[in-house]
Amino acid sequence: MKTTSSILLALSAAAFAQNTIYGPTGLNFVPSAFASEGGRWSGSLGGTTDDDPLWVSSLQGRFLEDRLEIGLSSTAWLVEGDSMGWKPRTTEVPLVPSARWILDRENRGIQSWGYAVGVSMPLGAWAAAGWRIRLPVVSPELHAGFGTPLNSIQGFGGVAVDLCDLEGNPLPLRLTLDGAISGSTGTLGSTEEAYWSAGVSTRLGRNLTFQTIHRRDRSYAAPDKGRRPGGTSFLRILWNFGSATNNEVQR
């Protein structure tokens, strides 16, 4: 029992560094308004669990007191429509760029507020606000935002819950739920990322995190691969390294 507690405490000391499948730090698929709490450099590798796996990978780095995050991802869209139907758009190696700027972060006691803007796929240019509260048993955080790649407008949001020991220290288990809705402003080549997803993350060590995600997309009237009526499941390994930078963005 004592050994188990020691392991949990050791893992609690390492914060989650969770990047989305699309690249920026966030929940499962949607970016958050807070900077990552892990080391300066991070990456991920994973894939879908179906018979024809779709591989996803990403690399990120944080600079300027964590205000700026620059990343590369292999996933631009998981659902994009063109004259051939709905399909994912990925690259073999991380080539899809993303950037995020933490505009503001305010810490007021056990609460934190954040506001960030960024550019990433499939959201395009986006803005998001977030709120977090540290409680003894669970520490929830909420995020909401919207973005546009010009041919559509997407609203997104989600919640993450860190399970804690009774003193508010996060345990190595995080539950995430997020979603997005897209409204098209164009007719051809438009993104239709409208989904919800649920994920569970657990730290495997100081620098490694394992994550499983299940995603359900809106049912489209197009019988092809992008439709995935039964949903898609992902398994990912995320890692972070480098010296932990100043996570509290100064006012």
Partner 1 sequence: MNPSKLLPVVAIARLALAGDGSDPRRAFDAVPGTAHPAIAANLAWLDMGLASARLSAHPGAQGVVSAPHFQVGYGWRVDEIRDAFRADSVVERLDRRELRLATAMALSQLGMDAFGRDRFDAALGFAFVREKAESKETELEAGRQGVDVSIATRMGAWRGAAALCGAIEVSGDSGSTRDEKVELRLGRIADDGFSWGGGLDIPVSDDGHAGLRLGMSREFRDAIGFQGQLSTSYSRQKDPQTGADELVRNSLELHLGTRIRFRPWGSDEGDTWMRRIVDPRIGSAPDGFLLRGWEIGVSATWDLVGGEARPAVELSRRF
Q: Which residues bind partner 1 (CB under 8 A)?
A: 103-104, 106, 108, 111, 113, 115, 127, 129, 131, 144-146, 148, 152-155, 157, 181-185, 194, 218, 250-251
Least separation in angstroms between CB 28 and partner 1 = 19
- Indicate the residue type of 19: N
What does the CA dihedral 116, 96, 72, 107 come to, rounded to 10 degrees?
10
At 137, list the tokens: 């048993």
Looking at the Cβ atoms of 126 and 234, the one nearer to partner 1 is: 126
∠ at Cα 232 (228, 233), nearest 5°? Answer: 165
Looking at the Cβ atoms of 2 and 251, the one nearer to partner 1 is: 251
What is d(CA 219, CA 239) in angstroms, rounded to the nearest whole number? 33
What is d(CA 67, CA 213) in angstroms, rounded to the nearest whole number? 27
Looking at the Cβ atoms of 23 and 145, the one nearer to partner 1 is: 145
Phi-psi region of 64 (alpha: psi -120 to 50; beta: other; left: phi over 0): left
Least separation in angstroms between CB 144 and partner 1 = 5
Residues 6+ away with beta carbon under 8 Å from 50? 232, 233
Query: Does residue 217 sit in helix, strand or coil?
Result: strand
What is d(CA 186, CA 148) in angstroms, rounded to the nearest whole number? 12
Least separation in angstroms between CB 211 and partner 1 = 27
What is d(CA 124, CA 191) in angstroms, rounded to the nearest whole number? 11
Least separation in angstroms between CB 46 and partner 1 = 29
Least separation in angstroms between CB 18 and partner 1 = 22
Where do we find the tokens 């760029």? 97
Give bridge partners of residue 25 from the DSSP assignment: 19
Least separation in angstroms between CB 58 and partner 1 = 26
CB–CB of 118/103 below 8 Å? no
Least separation in angstroms between CB 5 and partner 1 = 36
Give bridge partners of residue 63 from the DSSP assignment: 68
